[in-house]
Structure 1
């Protein structure tokens, strides 16, 4: 089979969340039934050699081909990452520049946050009709730009209608040709710098501003949030406290689903870890963004 026929998947991870990537990869492999191979592009924000080997050991080489790209090869030298107020890691911004490291003839890819597991055949998402739009995604919990607690806080100043649909950027099916033509990565970064006081969910804010009315809504089951009790979700997204922590507080059976896949990886003996580790990582994320911006 020609590599052009492969399913292209992009993920981004730092070393802390490498374990999540292991479970995600295994879940994709277990549920993939059609003949396409998977080309997995890993945007590597400091994953240790030990964890790289564990990730490689989390999927069959016959099904999954992995391509590793370090942070400094992904974000163009002239791009300055904004210092937003969130505790989201720099890693989240890597998805904006995935096309920088993918083959020139790539036409489509699926982007997945690593805090997910896939419970349906990924080929069904791969072949989803985008209705000619730039990306396919799923409505976020906040649903609209004018949401009182999420959405786009300064939608009025930007001239965006409050009822404009707002997507969650954790799962995106991307039309690469349109993405490149629109220079979307750079536009999102500029949007963030221009509206820094209103940035609430890192680059998701910028993506929704930049792509307002340019995205196609996919079946919500393709990005089902773990805090909601949904019957037979295709993809579970652990938006809140991740299932690797003792303080996990979403639907209990979704944590069980996570460990079902994790036990099939080199992390099979992992036990949920104390919450102080999670909280300390948030502090590190904020400091790292400040240092990175200073060095740029």
Structure 2
């Protein structure tokens, strides 16, 4: 089997159940690949980590849980109001072992529905990161965010990232992040994503959102942009990462979107898998 793909996840306790669904979907659609999951967190209990480990062990994957404490004692109140875990994906270079050189970061509210290998093998062309930009029918959202943040790049979504960890170790530091928050906090709407774009937008290679970070709220937008070519059949054949952005989330009772049923099916599958008793030795 090929060398494991390194997957980075950062989350709090509320996202442990959807994380397990995401990891199961990753397994189900990448049966010939193995993965090493790096779980970076601030406050998960041993029992919550054990929940995730029960799944990764069952799949034959490695799981490394890395609890991180960020000391914000000397920072102003406006910095302290943002949970440090929000920035763990960007600070992974300061957390992951030196022999980890590349990771794919995935939000836990994602389904993997096709092969992730091309993303893992992506040529970053010297860039530190790769990410997708979520746009509407036009590029108006880019223009608005360029004015708001004073940038000249696309406005990238932080839910899926390919990270050159060696570059991140050299170039991404907590002090830069806290300084940017202190200086521009009045302009931050989505703080972690805004900081990603403000500080590191020029080091990001853009990847196709409809393949690598498909916003499930925007099915009709994508169809309009492609003159209905990218219908549900196209999505199931070509899209790799479905991202359940916004609310309601697909595991919530009031969710009833085109993609809710798909999530619920994977949720049932992982629940059934985890409920099967481990075989006993003869």
TM-score range, shorter chain: 0.7 to 0.9
In the other structure, the counterpart of 2:157 is 168
1:41 Cα deviation after fit: 0.6
In the other structure, the counterpart of 2:244 is 238
Return the alpha-carbon distance in structure 2 between the equivalents of residues 210 and 144 of structure 1: 21
Return the alpha-carbon distance in structure 1 between the equivalents of residues 160 and 50 of structure 2: 25
Structure 1 moving runs of 4+ over 6 Å: none
In the other structure, the counterpart of 1:98 is 92
In the other structure, the counterpart of 1:217 is 206
In the other structure, the counterpart of 2:30 is 32
Return the alpha-carbon distance in structure 2 between the equivalents of residues 258 and 96 of structure 1: 27
Q: Give aligned pairs, total.
A: 254
The runs of 5 or more residues in structure 1 that have no matched partner are 270-296
TM-score, normalisation: structure 1:
0.75
1:237 Cα deviation after fit: 0.7
Equivalent position SS for 1:262: helix
1:77 Cα deviation after fit: 6.3
In the other structure, the counterpart of 2:10 is 12
CA deviation string 1:35-70 (max 9, x = no partner): 4x2110111233344433332233354542101112
In the other structure, the counterpart of 1:132 is 126
The runs of 5 or more residues in structure 2 that have no matched partner are 220-231, 275-282
For the pair 1:247 / 2:247, whether they are aligned, the reply is: no
The verdict on how the C-alpha distance between 1:152 and 1:83 changes in structure 2, with shifts beyond 3 A counting, is: farther
Return the alpha-carbon distance in structure 1 between the equivalents of residues 244 and 271 of structure 2: 21
In the other structure, the counterpart of 1:71 is 68
TM-score, normalisation: structure 2:
0.78
Contact between 1:144 and 1:166, CA under 8 Å: does it hold in 2? no
For the pair 1:203 / 2:192, whether they are aligned, the reply is: yes
Equivalent position SS for 1:246: coil
Query: In terms of Rg, which structure is larger?
Result: 2
Task: Select which of 261, 269, 276 maps to 2:266.
Answer: 261
The verdict on how the C-alpha distance between 1:135 and 1:184 changes in structure 2, with shifts beyond 3 A counting, is: farther
Return the alpha-carbon distance in structure 1 between the equivalents of residues 213 and 155 of structure 2: 13
Contact between 2:40 and 2:65, CA under 8 Å: does it hold in 1? yes
CA RMSD of aligned residues (A): 3.0
Return the alpha-carbon distance in structure 2 between the equivalents of residues 193 and 181 of structure 1: 22
In the other structure, the counterpart of 1:46 is 43
Return the alpha-carbon distance in structure 1 between the equivalents of residues 76 and 39 of structure 2: 20
**Larger helix proportion, structure 1 or 2?**
2
